[in-house]
Amino acid sequence: EEQLVESGGSLVQPGGSLRVSCAASGFSFRTYWMSWVRQAPGKGLEWVATIKQDGSEEYYVDSVKGRFTISRDNARSSLFLHMNSLRAEDTAIYYCSRNPELWLRANYYYYMDVWGKGTTVIVSS
Amino acid sequence: EIVMTQSPATLSVSPGERATLSCRASQSVYSDLAWYQQKFGQAPRLLIYGASTRATGVPARFSGSGSGTEFTLTISSLQSEDFAVYYCQQYNNWPPWTFGQGTKVEIK
């Protein structure tokens, strides 16, 4: 069974740092782009960051650029999100997701087909 | 950035009835559109990608249509397990990948 399991969420003070992790199983992790998506309390889904199979490309939503870093360890089938300078508005459930690749119209496109259950990050003093 | 707008915000439907959810993109996304279902306290679940292709294991009562800027998710006969929030997402013009704000389907 294809599965993603997040961990590492906790309560952290504003300005603090945290690393959340995602363990993948049941599929060839190294062949997929992977993403983090978050959901603030009572709000909708917001894409946060995406990383290419080999880690050579990373993409971020503007609000976290320079503060968050996505990374991966293909040998351990793990995805990470390193979060620095955390703000109250970063409070959310953080989901990792698998991104299958579509080759269409001479370009690659990526949607999100497998999701973990999420890990909760609370930024508060 | 492509803005995705869903309507209505809340849809009240009786079990067994048909539900029609709309999603509009601020510019064309071709058919690069996915729909997700999220039940309370759970992770999102992929229902549809490519605007109309059902994901593995998704019941046939769920169907997607549209292209360009206008899309529809139809649930032909609502079951009790279908009451949830539904999100559309474009993956045409990335980054960023952008979601609609969601439509809540509730019991009438």
B43 band by pLDDT with thresholds 50, 70 and 90: very high
Judging contacts by C-beta atoms under 8 Å, the chain B residues touching residue A113 are: 46, 49, 55
B55 band by pLDDT with thresholds 50, 70 and 90: very high
Check residue B105 and give its pLDDT: 97
Question: Are A59 and B36 in contact (CB < 8 Å)?
Answer: no
Question: Are A111 and B34 in contact (CB < 8 Å)?
Answer: yes
Can you tell me the distance from the alpha carbon of B36 to that of B47, in angstroms, rounded to the nearest whole number? 5
Question: Are B95 and A61 in contact (CB < 8 Å)?
Answer: yes
Check residue B8 and give its pLDDT: 97
Check residue B101 and give its pLDDT: 98
Check residue A8 and give its pLDDT: 98
Are the C-beta atoms of A4 and A72 separated by less than 8 Å?
Answer: no
Q: Nearest residue on chain B to A108, judged by CA atoms?
A: B92
For residue A106, which amino acid is it? A
Question: Are A112 and B42 in contact (CB < 8 Å)?
Answer: no
Mean pLDDT of B5-33: 97
Please give, rounded to a whole number of angstroms, the shortest distance from the CA of B16 to a CA of chain A.
27
Choose the closest CB to B43 out of A102, A109, A115. A115
Can you tell me the distance from the alpha carbon of A51 to that of A42, in angstroms, rounded to the nearest whole number? 27
pLDDT, tens digit, for every residue of B75-101?
999 999 999 999 999 999 999 999 999
Mutate to test the interface with A, among B46, B97, B104 (most CBs of A within 10 A): B97
* Strands of the B70-75 sheet, one edge to the other: B4-7, B19-25, B70-75, B62-67
pLDDT, tens digit, for every residue of A70-82?
999 999 999 999 9
Can you tell me the distance from the alpha carbon of A13 to that of A82, in angstroms, rounded to the nearest whole number? 15
B33 band by pLDDT with thresholds 50, 70 and 90: very high
Backbone angles phi, psi at A19, to 5 degrees: -120, 125
Check residue B51 and give its pLDDT: 97
Check residue A97 and give its pLDDT: 98
Question: Are B89 and A111 in contact (CB < 8 Å)?
Answer: yes
Choose the closest CB to A44 out of B87, B91, B92. B87
Six-digit token string for A48: 């946060």
Question: Are B87 and A104 in contact (CB < 8 Å)?
Answer: no
Choose the closest CB to B102 out of A37, A44, A113. A44
Judging contacts by C-beta atoms under 8 Å, the chain A residues touching residue B43 are: 95, 115-118
pLDDT tens for each residue of chain A, 125 residues long? 999 999 999 999 999 999 999 999 999 999 999 999 999 999 999 999 999 999 999 999 999 999 999 999 999 999 999 999 999 999 999 999 999 998 988 888 999 999 999 999 999 99
